[in-house]
């Protein structure tokens, strides 16, 4: 579904991604593991059109999207939930969700998907008229994910969905990620909690200083001594 071939991405003179090649098949949950600053978020931003690769190709369902405008990439079926949630604080929960569907014209479909989001996240239904800025961190994460789903993505990019959340909420968010996957959306997940990410992923790539240094099935990587020592707390 997504193929990245040898991309190089820079912030000014600093090279953030160095010859990254990876792929995601339809229906998979693929996770990127690596330390802070390794280039994981940069990779998501490059896929969603927020950054442009200097070299290399980004192919989505065989078509090249490297360097296309972010809006047209959303239209093609890729939604990005950025790190730090970024909800529209002065708008209500409902208005935030409606904004997620701003490129769509199918009123009936939008209504159905809104109902689906409220089924996935009942808490949002309780807070439907509340301003997004007054929600808790966990509720804002749910809203950011719900808003991305309103664009009806075939590929969902999630950047650090568990960041700053209480353990109980993290578990809930990850159960919902699995539900979204089971309902047919392909997922690329960036997550500091490598144990948790590997527990729901099909495959994983390990990113170090802008390069992919290891990849494989999630189970293989979970049992790899190297990964255990570096990312899974050594046990």
In tens digits, the chain (235 residues) has pLDDT values of 999 999 999 999 999 999 999 999 999 999 999 988 899 999 999 999 999 999 999 999 989 998 899 999 999 999 999 888 789 999 999 999 999 998 888 999 999 999 999 999 999 999 999 999 999 988 999 999 999 999 999 999 999 999 888 888 899 999 999 999 999 999 999 998 898 999 999 999 999 999 999 999 999 888 888 888 887 765 4
The domain limits of the chain are: 1-77+153-235, 86-152
Using CA atoms, how far residue 48 sits from 26, 37, 71, 83, 203, in Å, is 17, 19, 9, 13, 20
Q: Which helix (H) or strand (E) holds 45?
A: helix 40-47
Residue 123's nearest CA partner among 137, 110, 142 is 142
CATH superfamily to which 1-77+153-235 belongs? P-loop containing nucleotide triphosphate hydrolases (3.40.50.300)
pTM: 0.92
């Amino acid at each position: 579904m997504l193929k990245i071939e040898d991309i190089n991405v820079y912030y000014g003179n600093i090279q953030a991604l160095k010859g990254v090649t990876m792929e995601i098949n339809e229906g998979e949950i693929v996770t990127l593991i690596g330390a802070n600053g390794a280039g994981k978020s940069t990779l998501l931003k490059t896929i969603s059109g927020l950054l442009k690769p200097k070299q290399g190709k980004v192919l989505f369902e065989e078509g090249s999207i490297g360097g296309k405008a972010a809006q047209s990439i959303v239209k093609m079926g890729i939604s990005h939930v950025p790190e730090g949630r970024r909800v529209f604080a002065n708008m209500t929960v409902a208005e935030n969700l409606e904004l997620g569907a701003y490129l769509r014209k199918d009123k009936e479909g939008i209504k159905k998907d809104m109902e689906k989001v409220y089924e996935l996240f009942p808490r949002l239904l309780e807070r439907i008229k509340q301003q997004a800025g007054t929600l808790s961190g966990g509720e804002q994460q749910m809203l950011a994910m719900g808003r991305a789903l309103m664009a009806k993505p075939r590929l969902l990019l999630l950047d650090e969905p568990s960041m700053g959340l209480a353990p109980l909420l993290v578990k809930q968010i990850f159960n919902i990620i699995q539900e979204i996957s089971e309902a047919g959306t392909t997922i690329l997940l960036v997550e500091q909690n490598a144990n948790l990410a590997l527990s729901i992923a099909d495959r994983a790539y390990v990113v170090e200083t802008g390069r992919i240094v290891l990849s494989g099935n999630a189970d293989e990587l979970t049992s790899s001594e190297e990964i255990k020592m570096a990312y899974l707390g050594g046990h």
